[in-house]
Structure 1
């Protein structure tokens, strides 16, 4: 019956259509849909329709998410997760005592391990940014749902986890994104999630949190909790109180709006919100929160918020640009140990400004003062025109630069006069002229004329006739007198004896480079050099002619404290030991009885030596001096050369700064001992006029004397005085008969050197008529003939 009924329900003449089999590929790729339809096929129509209506888009959504996962997964692979541990941070600069003196390069960041951060801060940042951080994966689905509902209510709230924020910050995913670019924002968010999944798989939760607190922005271009804590509260993150920790966590929501430097009221409001969230998350009690709200907030004072410039840091930065690779500069994170002693650096800055303030307070002072410049409105200040100065302090036996001052205030003028300014050096160059002459055989005791320069006397000088600073002339004096009293005429004659080529060679080896022009006025320092060059050059005198290359960077270490770079001492022999010793002995007299005698009057009683320098019309005032341990050069003047004050000698303006600095250095352990030397001395008889070995003629003329002379500059046994040749003596006929037979071709007589404390030797006759030496013309120092005329610069005075 049933079979017959079934047949009657079918149309006559038609057979049932065969059911099509599903495509294998369709089953493979769309099996969730097939499964849904297969499962719901036997259900009632309403249920089947409802499940298929909800299930189909859900499955489609899963397909879409899978597709996004594949696409953004491949895109996320291009981002190197190693960058998380390569966050650029500040390079820390230390002085030789380990005191921090500045931070440069990288970003405003100092990486701090999570274990070294206050526990209250960890609780605060989690309560504020990601309460379920330790319980969810890369994405917080509960947070997303909550944020969705809040946004429907019109309240803006994000759902990014700490891991997502880290991905966005490290890889700069928001760069260039503008408000309203919905598609771009969605693209960035999907990529952010994909990278977050990779980070969550690669790192532990603590590692992610540590990277996050060291990466995120805290306003004012400050990156990381370490730098933020230091700049805002001047303390390490481990020392943050609950109130400070909550305030710091509150800044993260709006770094440029909620930091306490911008708005203390906004910062306190966000602190209170964070404390409330900590209570809600059961991280602290309500009583703790109430107590924290009462705590007054003390931040870095306004006058210390701006970056303080430093001339020493400027010089260090210049050296690092040469030493470091570009990558090291960009990433930072290094520790630079310098040669600077911050204690001496501070004293040098204060001593210079103190002396120049005293100068500005003098009655009738005609120039702009620093105080007057500071009182001008900011828009009217311009570049300062007040009197400036510079100081460079070097350790003799190493070349380490202990202090470097390039002006009165680096925040007011960034021009570093210590290394960039080239100023006329005047009489402080004279020691190097004498050094060249001593190298060539002149003796400190050799008699030199202090009379007027005669026409044609100085090679290459034509009619140039420099005067002495006092306008007076003298007679014959030892060469040392010319340096002790800074006599221009004697110094020019001594330079003429050495020759321009020799003087320039000595100046180059001492550290002046190729600066010296080959004109006779250069003997008086009419050319320019920097305080750095002057300080370096003067170190050869306490070092027996050895010069150490000055340096500022002694060691560089990476984040793991591995030593990347060290600076070895680099000495070289710049001049003869004996010549340097001879000049040093004279410069010690300069500091006791010469132009630098104020060293003693101002209270520095330890052994010292040095030379003042003053250029024409008191435009530049110099003092360069040294003890057994340190060498220091000081310059005072205007950036645009002009008269400082009447009587603005180096001894009045520059030398007091040197004394203040050296007194402090001696107290701090840089003890000034005796200026000993390792020079090897020989005792020989010399002529005061020629500086050569004495002959019998020198004894007869009364110019012979006995002295101790450095072996490396002592005249040879045949280098005899040419001004006083030995005189032949008459003899009797009996002496002639008793003399041995003369050779067939007798040689002319030769004068022999005189040993110590022996009577002069007498030359023997070689023919019947005794010979007599010819009289010597006027006994004056040799004067070279002019060979050309050149325009000369005005000579400096002292």
Structure 2
């Protein structure tokens, strides 16, 4: 039999077989090759499908239905991780460690005066925190802190489970790192057009990404430290150290187990669980934390039970109120002038001030004590501080009770030792020492005489104490002020005019010096508000602050030198580096405000004011050191002043009502202000600010002068018996050709006899003070404002003389 041909249709390998093969190729589509991009993009799916391909179809299909969504979820998770990683990148991780803390203010003795700016916290190290608190916060907030990488996924899983089962959010999903991220940055949702729940999820995912960045930047120890210093504890308190001091008045390193558990317990609701608001809730939270500490193995059960029985001793209510201070107000103002706002608000500075807290305290106490004494007087008809304090809260308005201010300055530095702007900064924020501008009255007269002495007048120069005639005083028109006692005298030494505070003499001295000269002197010695260029200003009919008066008076003990007043001595940053003043610089600035001789001469006269003038009561009040000063009492007893000094300190005191009105009958500066000054100075002397006597290093020259003109004496002065010899400060010696114009030499006959006309026309001799009896205090006469007239010359209304009964 012949062999079958390969193409035989009957053969198994023949034509029929080839036809069936061809049919299969037509019915089954050909597989396309998989591209490289698809492999890279979908390789998890390809691997997954390849792994399950050997399985039977009934297993392969359900596995794919579960596996493909899971792989797709993985894709979505990776995409979201990338998205939130990009969103987390801009956050500066350095900010985690930058925490605004309170700036601590110290006095010159190192005593803490208070804290300002920044946030209410103290930044400390983990090693400075009690170990019991570390265990308590970990048990309460994050028991797996040292094992997770920023997010506790076990806790997240538990939270999701609890949320699914109970329909509410579970506790414990947020780690310390996540809380730190939330407290360090303002993590805002970007999906603002979605529902609040979606926005919250968006914010939570961003918080997670930032937490991982924190974990990659800082060690666990550093993260814990930043968390403990940043966390909020209620009542504006931040950080464990400040919380410990606020609630328990102790450092964080001294916390007991019970106190540690309580603080850890109130973290989640510091305002709701605060022991200041609800001690029972705080104790409940403490006990919960103690139980957790036992279950997590941090402490034993018997320790927890003992801690639960421990009584809670928190800061008493009367010590919870932060008391404001006029000194701190002044320090804030000066700090703002020195540093930029950013440095101030960040806080964390250490400021050493010039304030002496012992003098500050005495000034506050002395002022309030004196004014309480006045308020207790029979017939006192103003609001008292006690009456204001007794008012219900809803009835209290701005206090209207008697007020005062005190400023004490160290002469040779300008350092402010005390600044009191009222009786209580909690009751009135208005700082009268800095902001209160009141009529200064007679306390300005020394500067008028200072200008006069710089213009050639001498303390022994004769000045008329008689009535002022119309047109005599430049720019005064018909104004003619009276003396406080309503009396007039003859020609008296200029020094007597200041000692006795004679208005007519003071105006004449100012007139001889010139209004421009007096205004220049006022500006040079530290009065910030330009003196009005009116003759009434010679009598202090303009306003200044206590701070300005005190600073201006320092030129007298300093022989003309003025140090600009300063409250801040040194500023250090949180690392202890000096940031102000710059290296080599001094915070104290000095300059020669006025000539030495005239300042020394006025100082000598002011010394007499305190021994036999209006301030002679100083010794009877208990201060017997060398000093100088001047009282001042404005019209109708509206303002009472005393400004005075020793060789070490200058102090100014003002007393009055905020709305100017009569304080009390005979409310003189010597009655109201001087006693406060004495108490401040007695304290300063005891503290080592010694009053060693008002001395001078000036050079003196002996010369022959005329008593009426203050110029070099001529033969005419000798003949008129007006010449005298004096030791004059070198800078006050008249020039050789600066001869007396009142007694020309040619008026003297050759034989030396004095013509009758010369003696008859000679001004009367000086009327020296005939006894050493004290001169009682004076009240300033009313000084109306100038009224311009058509001719352009200011005409000042006639002053009303003060009755003799008020002229003390």
Q: Does residue 705 of the first structure (1) align with residue 724 of the second (2)?
A: yes
Structure-to-structure mapping, 1:370-409, within 5 angstroms: 370-409=385-424
Deviates most, 652-661 or 462-471: 462-471
Instruction: Tell me what 2:6 maps to.
Output: none
Helix, strand or coil for the counterpart of 1:613?
Answer: strand
RMSD: 2.6
Instruction: Tell me what 1:631 maps to.
Output: 650
Q: Does residue 650 of the first structure (1) align with residue 655 of the second (2)?
A: no
Q: C-alpha deviations, 1:237-296, integer Å up to 9, x for none? A: 122222211111112111221122222111111111111111111112222222222222
Instruction: Tell me what 1:185 maps to.
Output: 200
Instruction: Tell me what 1:790 maps to.
Output: 795
Structure-to-structure mapping, 1:244-263, within 5 angstroms: 244-263=259-278
- Distance in 2 (alpha carbons) for counterparts of 1:578 and 1:288: 79
Is the alpha carbon distance of 1:175 and 1:291 closer, same or farther for their aligned partners in structure 2, counting shifts above 3 Å?
farther
Helix, strand or coil for the counterpart of 2:24?
Answer: coil
Deviates most, 17-26 or 588-597: 17-26
1:112–1:226 contact (8 Å) kept in structure 2: yes
- Distance in 2 (alpha carbons) for counterparts of 1:356 and 1:772: 62
Q: CA deviation at 1:162?
A: 0.9
The structure 1 residue matched to 2:605, chosen from 567, 586, 601, is 586
Is the alpha carbon distance of 1:573 and 1:397 closer, same or farther for their aligned partners in structure 2, counting shifts above 3 Å?
same
Instruction: Tell me what 2:24 maps to.
Output: 14
Instruction: Tell me what 2:592 maps to.
Output: 573
The structure 2 residue matched to 1:779, chosen from 748, 762, 766, is 762
Q: CA deviation at 1:728?
A: 4.4
- Distance in 1 (alpha carbons) for counterparts of 2:650 and 2:317: 38
The structure 1 residue matched to 2:119, chosen from 90, 107, 111, is 107
- Distance in 2 (alpha carbons) for counterparts of 1:793 and 1:565: 54
Q: Does residue 227 of the first structure (1) align with residue 280 of the second (2)?
A: no
1:151–1:157 contact (8 Å) kept in structure 2: no
Instruction: Tell me what 1:133 maps to.
Output: 145
2:566–2:587 contact (8 Å) kept in structure 1: no
Query: What 5-or-longer segments of structure 1 have no aligned partner?
Result: 732-761, 764-770
2:406–2:651 contact (8 Å) kept in structure 1: yes
Q: CA deviation at 1:692?
A: 2.1
Is the alpha carbon distance of 1:636 and 1:700 closer, same or farther for their aligned partners in structure 2, counting shifts above 3 Å?
same
Is the alpha carbon distance of 1:123 and 1:602 closer, same or farther for their aligned partners in structure 2, counting shifts above 3 Å?
same
Q: C-alpha deviations, 1:767-788, integer Å up to 9, x for none? A: xxxx979736633499xxx994
Deviates most, 92-101 or 620-629: 92-101
1:311–1:406 contact (8 Å) kept in structure 2: yes
Is the alpha carbon distance of 1:378 and 1:300 closer, same or farther for their aligned partners in structure 2, counting shifts above 3 Å?
same
Q: Does residue 476 of the first structure (1) align with residue 476 of the second (2)?
A: no
Q: C-alpha deviations, 1:358-404, integer Å up to 9, x for none? A: 01001100100011011111111111100110011111011111111
Structure-to-structure mapping, 1:346-425, within 5 angstroms: 346-425=361-440
The structure 2 residue matched to 1:308, chosen from 323, 330, 341, is 323
Is the alpha carbon distance of 1:549 and 1:344 closer, same or farther for their aligned partners in structure 2, counting shifts above 3 Å?
same
Q: CA deviation at 1:11?
A: 9.1
Structure-to-structure mapping, 1:300-699, within 5 angstroms: 300-566=315-581, 568-699=587-718
Q: CA deviation at 1:604?
A: 0.6
The structure 2 residue matched to 1:299, chosen from 302, 309, 314, is 314
Deviates most, 661-670 or 363-372: 661-670
Q: CA deviation at 1:110?
A: 2.1
Q: C-alpha deviations, 1:69-102, integer Å up to 9, x for none? A: 1100111001111111222222222211222212
Q: CA deviation at 1:137?
A: 1.1
1:515–1:529 contact (8 Å) kept in structure 2: no
Q: CA deviation at 1:548?
A: 0.7
1:460–1:787 contact (8 Å) kept in structure 2: no
Q: C-alpha deviations, 1:120-161, integer Å up to 9, x for none? A: 111111111101101111111111122233334536314011
Instruction: Tell me what 1:745 maps to.
Output: none
Deviates most, 357-366 or 151-160: 151-160
Instruction: Tell me what 2:178 maps to.
Output: 164
The structure 2 residue matched to 1:79, chosen from 75, 91, 105, is 91
Is the alpha carbon distance of 1:160 and 1:687 closer, same or farther for their aligned partners in structure 2, counting shifts above 3 Å?
same
1:246–1:274 contact (8 Å) kept in structure 2: yes
2:189–2:203 contact (8 Å) kept in structure 1: no
Q: Does residue 43 of the first structure (1) align with residue 55 of the second (2)?
A: yes
1:246–1:271 contact (8 Å) kept in structure 2: yes
Instruction: Tell me what 1:59 maps to.
Output: 71
Is the alpha carbon distance of 1:13 and 1:54 closer, same or farther for their aligned partners in structure 2, counting shifts above 3 Å?
closer
Q: C-alpha deviations, 1:21-48, integer Å up to 9, x for none? A: 3333222111111111111111234543
TM-score by length of 1: 0.90
Is the alpha carbon distance of 1:9 and 1:207 closer, same or farther for their aligned partners in structure 2, counting shifts above 3 Å?
farther
- Distance in 1 (alpha carbons) for counterparts of 2:498 and 2:190: 69
Q: CA deviation at 1:522?
A: 1.0
Q: C-alpha deviations, 1:482-532, integer Å up to 9, x for none? A: 111111122112112211111111111011134311111111111111101
- Distance in 1 (alpha carbons) for counterparts of 2:187 and 2:39: 39
- Distance in 1 (alpha carbons) for counterparts of 2:479 and 2:699: 40
Deviates most, 455-464 or 575-584: 455-464
- Distance in 2 (alpha carbons) for counterparts of 1:36 and 1:319: 73
Helix, strand or coil for the counterpart of 1:96?
Answer: coil
TM-score by length of 2: 0.89
- Distance in 2 (alpha carbons) for counterparts of 1:788 and 1:71: 81
- Distance in 1 (alpha carbons) for counterparts of 2:396 and 2:498: 43
Deviates most, 479-488 or 429-438: 479-488
- Distance in 2 (alpha carbons) for counterparts of 1:335 and 1:176: 40
Helix, strand or coil for the counterpart of 2:272?
Answer: helix
- Distance in 1 (alpha carbons) for counterparts of 2:519 and 2:133: 65
Query: How many pairs were matched up?
Result: 755
- Distance in 2 (alpha carbons) for counterparts of 1:484 and 1:793: 25
Q: CA deviation at 1:547?
A: 0.7
1:521–1:792 contact (8 Å) kept in structure 2: no
Q: CA deviation at 1:677?
A: 1.1
Q: C-alpha deviations, 1:322-360, integer Å up to 9, x for none? A: 222121123222222211112211111111111100010
Instruction: Tell me what 1:276 maps to.
Output: 291
Is the alpha carbon distance of 1:260 and 1:7 closer, same or farther for their aligned partners in structure 2, counting shifts above 3 Å?
farther
- Distance in 1 (alpha carbons) for counterparts of 2:275 and 2:106: 29
Deviates most, 787-796 or 682-691: 787-796
Helix, strand or coil for the counterpart of 1:213?
Answer: helix
Is the alpha carbon distance of 1:787 and 1:148 closer, same or farther for their aligned partners in structure 2, counting shifts above 3 Å?
closer
Instruction: Tell me what 2:4 maps to.
Output: none
- Distance in 1 (alpha carbons) for counterparts of 2:189 and 2:88: 16
2:142–2:172 contact (8 Å) kept in structure 1: no
Helix, strand or coil for the counterpart of 2:424?
Answer: coil
- Distance in 2 (alpha carbons) for counterparts of 1:667 and 1:110: 35
Q: C-alpha deviations, 1:717-771, integer Å up to 9, x for none? A: 222333333354557xxxxxxxxxxxxxxxxxxxxxxxxxxxxxx79xxxxxxx9
Instruction: Tell me what 1:748 maps to.
Output: none
Deviates most, 191-200 or 156-165: 156-165
Instruction: Tell me what 2:39 maps to.
Output: 27
